[in-house]
Amino acid sequence: MAASTLDTALPALAADGTTGALRAGKEGTVYLSQGRVSYVECAATLSVEELLAASGRISATGLRTVRQAAGPDEHGGDILVRQGVLSRGELQFCVLGATLDAAYFLLQARPARTRFKEGEEHWLGAHWFFDVPGLLRECARRRSRLERAWPSAELDGRPVTPVSHIGAARAVLTPLQWELMRTADCTATPAELARRLGRPAYSTLLAVRELAAAGLLDTGQTAAPALPKRTPPGGRSQPGRGAGTGKEPASPPQAEGRHASGPLAVNADATDVNLLIRLRDALEAL
Amino acid sequence: MIGIEDCLSEAMSIPGALGAILVDHTSGMAVAEKGMPDPARSAAGLSEAFRATIDGVAVSSPEGSFRVEDLIITTDTSYHLIRPMEMMFDGPLLVCLRLDRERANLALARRRLLTITDQLVAS
């Protein structure tokens, strides 16, 4: 069956309840199991194998051995669980996380040519299932989440460049944001950093946009307008997660200048009021 | 060792349990749920509550670093327990449990939830 684009092929295959692999050239593959998506691979994101290797739970050689031992009797994922490399829950979460990450970027790339191979399975087996509308809904939700964090996509493909001085009084970072700030070398893009850190590309992109919203990244504009842009327009969305408390005025109004203007300068200051009261009392006592 | 669905069933077997949901904290997505009225909104809301709490505690803690074991929210009718689980490459994954305040034993529920989450990520 030679299907057209991924957008049209996927719902059709899902409706027929098919099992197999839908290949979109070199860009990625969608694995279906009885009409539901069980796994997605995308060239731009880390696969479960790569995530496992990055986590240090199993070596590349160990993974190859499991892959060779895997077959219809026992899928690779089940072998990994049996060997105690990871728990059933971790495997499921790993598969669903990698699937959503890959689906987000693969569907956005809109690959034009696809080829379906009926009956083909991923060697790990099927461990989590998405119905196609649900998967598309989640991708749309993730897209709007990115928009809310920082409404421009121009940073997505550019090297991540931390600013040398932050405008905020304090910055709160998530663990991933910290890793990003530590690893960012002003040449690696978010996708490259995700690969280097062994993290999902979407989470990395979201963290990068939040860092930009918090004024911690060079957004390519002149330094001055970076701070006011921190709260993106539209919706009363919270300031980004790593926002810190940059919105507050730098410090309480300073008192120094007043003393210089002479002892008679009177303000609604407690000391001034006390002085006036004491003066009045003294005059009345005369 | 248990899977995600078993984790939910186990959580729902805790006395007084009204609803349980697993939330991917990074994306705010509902991974799986049982007995939740609107999973997508619940996931987004609970994830935001967890984030806000962490931020609030972070700026008001004298110690430099801390780890949240769980979050207990008491309303007039129910308890909400939120427990983060560090996952291998992303996360945390939040297990959120809503309990009937009349029927639930909070201390017991916390212990049971700890046992369940330990089984989910045990390896």
Q: What is the per-residue pLDDT for A269?
A: 52
Q: Do A92 and B4 touch (CB under 8 A)?
A: yes
- Spans of chain B below 50 pLDDT: 123
The token pair at B54 is 């962490």
Q: Do A57 and B123 touch (CB under 8 A)?
A: yes
Mean pLDDT confidence for A134-153: 92
* A282 compared with B104, residue with greater pLDDT: B104
Q: What is the per-residue pLDDT for A274?
A: 64
A136 backbone φψ class: left, alpha, beta (φ>0; ψ -120 to 50): alpha
Q: What is the per-residue pLDDT for A245?
A: 39
Q: How confident is the model at residue A38 (pLDDT cuts 50, 70, 90)?
A: very high
Does residue A49 have a pLDDT over 50? yes
Does residue A207 have a pLDDT over 50? yes
Q: In this structure, which amino acid lies at residue A162?
A: P
The token pair at A281 is 């009392």
Q: Domains in chain B and their CATH numbers?
A: 4-122 (3.30.450.30)
Neighbouring C-beta atoms of residue A185, cutoff 10 Å: 13
B122: contact with A, CB 8 A cutoff: yes
> Could you tell me which of B26, B4, B37, B19 has the C-alpha nearest to residue B96?
B19
Alpha-carbon distance A238 to A225, whole Å? 19
Three-state DSSP at A139 gives helix
Summarize pLDDT for A63-95 with one digit per residue, the tens.
999 999 998 889 999 999 999 888 899 999 999
Question: Do B75 and B101 meet the contact criterion of CB atoms below 8 Å apart?
Answer: yes
Alpha-carbon distance A81 to A95, whole Å? 13
Neighbouring C-beta atoms of residue A187, cutoff 10 Å: 9
Q: Which of residues 4-43 of B touch A (CB under 8 A)?
A: 4, 6-7, 24, 26-29, 31, 40
Alpha-carbon distance B40 to B31, whole Å? 9
Mean pLDDT confidence for A261-266: 43
Question: Do A62 and A53 meet the contact criterion of CB atoms below 8 Å apart?
Answer: no
Q: What is the per-residue pLDDT for A253?
A: 41
Q: Do A97 and B24 touch (CB under 8 A)?
A: yes
Least confident of A112-121, A160-169, A268-277: A268-277
Residues of A in contact with B89 (CB under 8 A): 46, 51, 54-55, 94, 97, 198-200
> Could you tell me which of B1, B2, B50 has the C-alpha nearest to residue B24?
B50
Does residue A244 have a pLDDT over 70? no
Summarize pLDDT for A156-198 with one digit per residue, the tens.
999 999 999 888 787 888 889 999 999 999 999 999 999 999 8
Neighbouring C-beta atoms of residue A150, cutoff 10 Å: 25
Q: What is the per-residue pLDDT for A230?
A: 45
Tell me the pLDDT of chain A averaged across its residues.
81
Q: How confident is the model at residue A228 (pLDDT cuts 50, 70, 90)?
A: very low
Alpha-carbon distance A187 to B40, whole Å? 37
**What percent of chain A clears pLDDT 70, i.e. is strictly above it?**
78
Q: What is the per-residue pLDDT for A227?
A: 45
Q: What is the per-residue pLDDT for A168?
A: 79
Choose from A45, A52, A93, A204 for mutation: most chain B CBs within 10 A: A93
Does residue A3 have a pLDDT over 70? no
Residues of B in contact with A245 (CB under 8 A): 59
Q: What is the per-residue pLDDT for A54?
A: 85
Task: Write out B38-58 in H/E/C secondary structure.
Answer: CHHHHHHHHHHHHHHHHHHHH
The token pair at A159 is 């090297």
Q: Do B88 and A93 touch (CB under 8 A)?
A: yes
Q: Do B1 and A94 touch (CB under 8 A)?
A: no
